Structure 1
Amino acid sequence: MVIENALDAPLSFRPVNLNQNSDVCVRFFEDMLLCAFGSAQKLHDPDGTQRYLQSLQEKATEIPGSIVHAWDETQIVGQIEMSLLKAEPAVGYIHFFYLTPEWRSRGAGKLLLAYATDFFAGLGCERMRLSVSETNQRAAQFYRHHGWIDIGARQDKPELRLRLMEKAIGLMRV
């Protein structure tokens, strides 16, 4: 899938190839952990990297196309990881939403949101959810700007200080 953007360069979305790009996935995940929580220790714990890559493989196998890289013409510039909530199958969940630093604040984030919205709509979802760290105000502001609503603290992991955000799929505003 190719989505045009205001940067005059299309982004294409391709399923992650873990055999070729697992290092990119790990690097992006590490940067997200640093941005959101100030530490990537979770990834560096024994078997942390292996557990992360195994979870990607499981998600990609369960729902093909749910783990994708965003490419500019020559390189990977972003990543999205998605699944369906088991308890609420009409709700799509974005586990990971990432752009490289040089692609942030340039309009590319809305292209990732458009991809996720189209993906979940194709699966029959009515809503999307994601979690955002209370310390990552830049991300929270981005989601609010694009119509996401803060529906409260995540109760299952209070130590992480995560907020749940939700958006109805029929109300896409980019």
Structure 2
Amino acid sequence: MISVRPIAPHEWQKYRDIRLQALQDAPDAFGSSWAAEATQADEHWSTRMAAAAASDTDRALFAVNGGTVCGLVWCKLSVAEPGVADIYQMWVAPTARGLGAGRALLDHALAWAKSRGAQRVRLGVTVADSPAMQLYRSHGFAPVGQPEPLRAGSALVAQAMELNWGTPSAH
């Protein structure tokens, strides 16, 4: 059974390990790379998790299966654009794929964003007929704008997608 919970500040090492595992497992799914993040000092990781836990604008979540962390997602409210949230770092371990971990992570991130007043949620996904693309579409995300390079020097392209709940008065 998959459960989802916030990442506690003291779990920065587990967060680091899962993040690096994600970057190794799915290098074509992220704007960052394992090489760019693997050299970060412990202080970077611990500070990142402490800041997220103390923030009203960040929500970092783990998916857990039988006591083992098997997935990650980060949701952040935009400071520059009130009512907008962004989803980053979405990943599910190969051993947990097909068990609903991605759906559970996305559901929790979206519920959190909505509870904080978000009317739109944005994310980027590598253009492919992938489980990730299917998951986002099934939740109502639609492409916005033109695909852009995943990162400098990459032949892959990422598509910005958005879920729009509209204005609060519309509900």
TM-score, structure 2 as length reference: 0.74
Pick one of 4, 19, 24 that aligns with 1:13: 4
Deviations 1:6-62 (A, max 9, x none): xxx3x333221232x3232122212322303385101123x3664344333322221
1:111: Cα distance to partner? 1.5
> Which runs of 5 or more residues in structure 2 are unaligned?
167-171
Secondary structure of the corresponding residue to residue 144 of structure 2: strand
Pick one of 151, 161, 164 that aligns with 2:160: 164
Aligned to 1:90: 83
Pick one of 3, 15, 22 that aligns with 1:32: 22
Aligned to 2:110: 117
**Partner amino acid for 1:27?**
D
> Which runs of 5 or more residues in structure 1 are unaligned?
1-8
Aligned to 1:44: 38
Aligned pair count? 159
Q: Is 2:60 the counterpart of 1:67?
A: yes
**Partner amino acid for 2:87?**
I
CA shift in 2, pair 1:97/1:85, >3 Å: same
Moved more, 62-71 or 113-122: 62-71
1:125: Cα distance to partner? 0.9
- Partners of 2:50 and 2:91 in 1: CA distance: 18
RMSD: 3.0
Q: Is the 8 A contact 2:8 2:53 kept in 1?
A: no
TM-score, structure 1 as length reference: 0.73
- Partners of 2:151 and 2:70 in 1: CA distance: 31
